[in-house]
Amino acid sequence: MEIQPSAPVTLQNLGTLLDSEMPHYKIDFKKTILGDEYVQVSKSSFVGARVKVNEDNTVVINGVIPSLWIRGALGGWLIYAMTYPSRKKIENEVGNMLSGKLA
The domain limits of the chain are 2-102
* Distance (Å, whole) CA 38 – CA 50: 7
Alpha carbon distance, N-terminus to C-terminus of the chain: 15
Q: Does 96 have pLDDT greater than 70?
A: yes
**What pLDDT is stored for residue 81 in this prediction?**
79
46-73 pLDDT, tens digit per residue, is 788 999 999 999 999 998 876 666 666 6
Q: How many helices (H) and strands (E) does the chain have?
A: 3, 5
37-49 pLDDT, tens digit per residue, is 999 999 887 788 9
